[in-house]
Amino acid sequence: MSRIVPQMLSAFIYLITAFPASAEPTRLGDLIIETPWARASIGMSRPAAAYITIRNEGKTTDILTGIETTVSAKSEVHKMEMKNGVASMGPAGPVEIPANGSVKLAPGGLHIMLMKLQQPLRKDDRFSMTLIFKDAGRVDISVPIYSVGASGPEK
Ligand SMILES: [Cu+2]
């Protein structure tokens, strides 16, 4: 038995490294969810942010109406704005994904705010998040977590 365990371990490590963390795009009908990512959190007292790009290959606008995840008690799309040279942010409301267009959530603009974290977001972990669209319905995506100072997907 003691010989088998290291072999199983190396097979397990191989499985991890054989599939890089860079997520495949997720398709839901005409929508394609690309490059999800989040920053590692500093503890759990501050909210964390997650980012995605949503492309709509369809002929009609769809609307991102909600987000669900178990890592935070409340999650919603926020919009960051500059007012008199001061950055402020608040709920963006429903986000339209235009026909034949795309919406990018990225630092400094739209982002998914993960409030009341239920667990710390640890670098190199992943968490699952459900996006809810008015027409296309629900889709689960897997979000890789990068370093605290990451400015974009690291892989
Ligand atoms: Cu925010």
Predicted pLDDT of residue 153: 86
- Ligand 1 centre to CA of 18 (Å) is 34
- Ligand 1 centre to CA of 88 (Å) is 9
Rounded distance between C-alpha atoms, residue 85 and residue 103, angstroms: 25
DSSP 61-125: -EEEEEEEETTEEEEEEEEEEEETTEEEEEE--SEEE-TTEEEE--TTS-EEEEEEESS---TT-
- Ligand 1 centre to CA of 98 (Å) is 22
Select the more confidently predicted residue: 10 or 27: 27
- Ligand 1 centre to CA of 73 (Å) is 14
- Ligand 1 centre to CA of 78 (Å) is 5
Distance of CA 65 to the CA centre of its chain: 15
Closest C-alpha to 41, from 153, 125, 138? 125
Third-level CATH fold of 21-146: Immunoglobulin-like (2.60.40)
- pLDDT digit string, tens, across residues 95-148: 999 999 999 999 999 999 999 999 999 999 999 999 999 999 999 999 999 999
Residue 16 confidence (pLDDT) above 60: no
Q: Looking at the whole model, is its pTM more than 0.95?
A: no
Return the domain boundaries, the chain: 21-146
- What is the pLDDT averaged over residues 45-53? 95
Predicted pLDDT of residue 7: 55
Predicted pLDDT of residue 43: 87
Query: Which percentage of the chain shows pLDDT scores above 90?
Result: 74
Give the confidence band of 83 by pLDDT, cuts at 50, 70, 90: confident
Closest C-alpha to 134, from 61, 52, 55, 30? 61
